[in-house]
Amino acid sequence: MQEGNEVMAENKHTAKVPTHMSVKEKYTKDVRPKLAEEFGIKNPNALPKITKIVVNMGIGNLIKDKGLQEKTAEELGMITGQKPQIRPAKLSVAGFSIRAGMPVGLRVTLRGVRMYNFLDKLISIVLPRIRDFRGIPTKGFDMAGNYSIGFSEMTMFPEIDISKMDKNKGLEITIVTSTKDRQQSRKLLEYLGMPFAKEENN
């Protein structure tokens, strides 16, 4: 999880989905024309787009509790709408009692409809539920034009019942784009509704 790129969640249990244009509709009807005009892109196939969203969660601290591992995987599946893949340890680490092949993480790769649905939920429901929210940091962009943001807990997701959680679990979300231009990638996400911190927009 990237340091300094975490956001804290507010402990609320319910959220209503507002009536609005979906992210996919917004991209097709509104965002593509804006990107084409702003960056002078004439080839429609060259316009920046989101290709996938990857959600990662570390479970190395749950190695000794298989039941909690399974419950965590179930929770991540509810959040993303897709069954997580288990990430095994590549190397043995004696100090942490980790052997190569042991499960140390969970990963979900979303594409197509599930990708758009997850991003829609992230923008419309999850981010607005963050305590004292002032926008997400812009330093999460990498050199390839992808954006990552870490959450220290999952309680802002409406599928999670706080009363049934054994312990807080963090996760990291990476939005992978088709462009390696960070400026194009940022504009793509801004136009889709990602609320970047205002003080970083200057």
Dist. CA 62–CA 71, nearest whole Å = 11
Give yes or no for residue 132 having a pLDDT over 70. Answer: yes
**CATH code for the domain in which residue 142 is found:** 3.30.1440.10
Residue 113: predicted pLDDT? 93
| 114 found inside a domain | yes
Between 13 and 146, residue with greater pLDDT: 146
Residue 91: predicted pLDDT? 57
- pTM for the predicted model, two decimal places: 0.81
Number of domains in the chain: 1
Beta strands in 75-192 (DSSP E): 85-88, 103-110, 147-151, 171-177
Range of the domain at 47: 20-196
Closest alpha carbon to 156 in 132, 128, 189, 133 = 128
